[in-house]
Every structure is written in structure tokens, then in C-alpha cells.
Amino acid sequence: MNRRAPAIAAVVGVAVLALVVVLVISPSERQQSDPGRELIGNVAPALTGTTLTGDRFDIDEHRGQWVLVKAHLYREKMMALVRALKQVATEEQVIAYRRRRPYIHFGPVEVQPAKQDVLGAWTLGEPRHLYLTPVALVLLAGDRIKRLIPLEAVQQVSAIRRIDQPKAPGLVRFEADGKPLAFALQPHEAFAAALAEAAKRTLEDPVQWQRKKKKGETIALEDEDL
């Protein structure tokens, strides 16, 4: 069977979420015009299992959708997975998942890009999805990764209500690399709070690094667990 469901894979457990390995691409790939092209069109790995509620899960039943999969493993198996993922993870991913927990994830949530005219009225674009990870804010358009925004580039996050349409969904507004962006979505205040906190954490050193700095020890990526 052809499994074309784009998959966002996330492992929730002792130390790491595997999402970053599948979804967040390397810095060199981010500069290319279509950062999602390496993923789109490829067959998703076979994935079946039993959910926490006892229901059967099969990724084949979610073709054409973005799928968030949370896998719970015993410590030894989780640590084995962590070490395997570490071989392919970028340095940014490793550092992000060593910062303090709980890790911040939000979505994927449906949004509409928004632009404000000189009179203060907002015009909304075609629906998209946003997914917030500890590494980046990911903009999804259909079955494509439209844009990856590193959290280090996110500033001035705010949640605002629409004065032109008070009953309409609110907006999340922020700057990315100095350029303003805004999205309309239903849980706009919760998403803005999560985005602001996730962006702030990029300024923090991982917990283990803080301890080593206090002791005057050398920091090395290769000798630590995620």
C-alpha cells in the first residue's frame, strides 16, 4: 500500500522527541527554496500499534495528513533510541532538547496568515498550519513544509484581538529576522504564550551545561545524553 502521509514523528519519554529528526532540516537545507522537498512524495515508514486508549493505530489510515505520533518506551529502550537519533540530529536539535523541561510543543494548529492595512483592518490568507517545536516554528501548507523559522529569530511576540471584527479569532503577531508576521487562530493567547516562552528558552544554556560551567568543566556534545 502506498503510504504518502507526511509524518511528523515525535517521541515523548525520558529525554527526547524524535520529531526534530524527521521534520527540522539541517541549516544548509533551510536556505534552499523548498525546504520540504526532501520529505514530500516519499513513502512514510510503516507504523502500526496500540494507542494509550487501547485503539489500533495505522499510519496508512492517515494518508495526506500531518501525523503527530507520541511513542512511550521503557527507559532502556528510550535511551537506545536517543543514542541512535543523536547520530543524525543537528547540533541545534541536540542543544534544544537539553534545555529545561517540559519541552514546549504546540499544534499543529490551523491558522490564517494576516496582513493589516493602513486603516487597521485585517485581511486573512489561505488556511495553513503552524507547529511549534523547541527548535523552530514550522509553517505547513497542505502537504508541504512552507517555512521553518528558527526560534532564535523570533522576537516581540504578542496576542491581539481584532478591533475590526471583535468576534473573529484573535491574532498572534511577532517578528522573525526583523520582519513582522501575523497569524489568525482560535487559541491565539495560548499559542502566543507558548511561542514567547519557547523563543526565550533559546537564550538559556542546557541544564547540564550550567552545572559544568559552575564546576569549570569542559562542555562537549559527544559525551552527553540528549
CATH of the domain at 195: 2.30.29.30
* Residue 119 covered by a domain: yes
- Of 67, 50, 51, nearest to 140 (Cα)? 67
Indicate whether 134 and 87 sit together in one domain: no
Q: What is the dihedral of CA 143, 160, 134, 47, to 10 degrees?
A: -30
Instruction: Give backbone dihedrals phi and psi of 102, rounded to 5 degrees, phi first.
Output: -70, 145
Indicate whether 115 and 165 sit together in one domain: yes
* Residue 2 covered by a domain: no
Strands 154-160 and 171-176: antiparallel
Average pLDDT, the chain: 76
Indicate whether 111 and 195 sit together in one domain: yes
Q: Which residues contact 50 (CB under 8 A, 6 or more apart)?
A: 56, 57
Q: Which residues contact 161 (CB under 8 A, 6 or more apart)?
A: 170, 171
* Residue 161 covered by a domain: yes
In the predicted model, what is the mean pLDDT of residues 89-93? 80
Q: In the prediction, which pLDDT does 73 show?
A: 80
* Residue 210 covered by a domain: no
- Range of 20-29, 69-78, 149-158, 159-168 with top mean pLDDT: 149-158
* Residue 129 covered by a domain: yes
pLDDT, tens digit (0-9, with 9 covering 90-100), for 95-139: 887 777 788 899 899 999 999 998 888 999 999 999 999 899 999
Indicate whether 89 and 29 sit together in one domain: yes
Indicate whether 92 and 121 sit together in one domain: no
Q: How confident is the model at residue 35 (pLDDT cuts 50, 70, 90)?
A: very low
In the predicted model, what is the mean pLDDT of residues 66-71? 74
Indicate whether 118 and 189 sit together in one domain: yes
> Is the pTM for the entire model greater than 0.75?
no
* Residue 226 covered by a domain: no
Contact status, residue 88 vs residue 25, Cβ threshold 8 Å: no
* Residue 219 covered by a domain: no
Indicate whether 84 and 147 sit together in one domain: no
The DSSP secondary-structure symbol of 103 reads P
- Residue 46 cell numbers, joined: 510503516
* Residue 150 covered by a domain: yes
Give the chain's count of helices (H) and strands (E): 6, 12
User: CA geometry: angle at 131 spanning 125 and 132, to 5°?
Assistant: 120
Q: How far apart are CA 45 and CA 47, in angstroms?
A: 6
Indicate whether 89 and 123 sit together in one domain: no
Q: How far apart are CA 50 and CA 53, in angstroms?
A: 8
Please report which helix (H) or strand (E) contains residue 172, including its range. Answer: strand 171-176
Indicate whether 69 and 123 sit together in one domain: no
End-of-domain residue from the set 61, 77, 96: 96
- Residue 177 cell numbers, joined: 529576522
Residue 206, preceding peptide bond in cis (omega within 30° of 0)? no
How many structural domains does the chain have? 2
Indicate whether 49 and 134 sit together in one domain: no
Q: Which domain holds residue 84?
A: 7-96
Q: How far apart are CA 188 and CA 172, in angstroms?
A: 6
- Of 71, 75, 69, nearest to 14 (Cα)? 75
